[in-house]
Amino acid sequence: MPRAPAQPAPLASGNLGLNSDRLRQAMVQRLRTQGIVDERVLNAMAAVPRHLFVDEALASRAYEDAALPIGHSQTISQPWVVARMIAAVCEDRAPARVLEVGAGCGYQAAVLAQIVREVHAIERIRGLYELARGHLRALRLATRVRLIHGDGMLGVPGVAPFDAIVVAAAGLAIPQALLDQLAPGGRLIAPEGSTHQRLVLIERTGATAWSRKELEAVRFVPLRAGIQS
């Protein structure tokens, strides 16, 4: 396994102040008990103030292991799911270029930016794209995350290949365009299914070959094509 980098410096905590630091550390300890062992991922989760990515009325719940609404009928994924997905694509490797499909409010991209040198995050809903952009700018991460308003099912072919792709919405099948944008040996993780969903971890093993492993049952919003202004 790659050596864990130095622990990222915590980003500005905002209104919850020192209390948020305590709640964040408690969240990290809970993630440990839930099986997250990659110190890079745990350090990244500890560094990013999740409460700044949700509505102020929900800030007190930000460090619960729960998905929370962010508007536009979308949610911020629960901390365990974020950590699990990132840990899966980073296990035994250090991806340099990562694509996130479904940036939402920007939280997962902010966590990825603590680990990965080059993060590209795509969001189809204009309102959420603007929300994520504001959050990333406020935390001085705008230069570390390239945020794109576009159709996530198409990926970003002009930037590909990616060492890892993290998909934060569930389709009935993984779009072929995303599989094609994986680098050789690259990994993609995504929820798959409709009523019953499961995380699927895919690794590119050849020019036209991919391996597939089914992981835990999850619940995500649906993956949709096109963009929404």
Q: What is the DSSP string of 146-170?
A: EEEES-GGG--TTT--EEEEEE-SB
Higher pLDDT, 186 or 11: 186
pLDDT tens per residue across span 165-199? 999 999 999 999 999 999 999 999 999 999 999 99
pLDDT of 13 = 53
Contact, 112 vs 47, CB < 8 A?
no
- The answer to whether residue 4 scores a pLDDT higher than 50 is no
- The answer to whether residue 12 scores a pLDDT higher than 50 is yes
How remote is the C-alpha of 78 from its chain's centroid?
11
Structural domains of the chain in order of their starting residue, each with its CATH number: 67-218 (3.40.50.150)
Main-chain phi, psi angles of 16, to 5 degrees: -70, -15
Annotated catalytic residue 229: no
pTM, 2 dp = 0.92
pLDDT tens per residue across span 55-112? 999 999 999 999 999 999 999 999 999 999 999 999 999 999 999 999 999 999 999 9
Give the 3-state secondary structure of residue 196.
coil
Residue among 77, 194, 211, 229 flagged as catalytic: 77
Find the helix packing angle between 79-90 and 39-47, rounded to 10°. 140
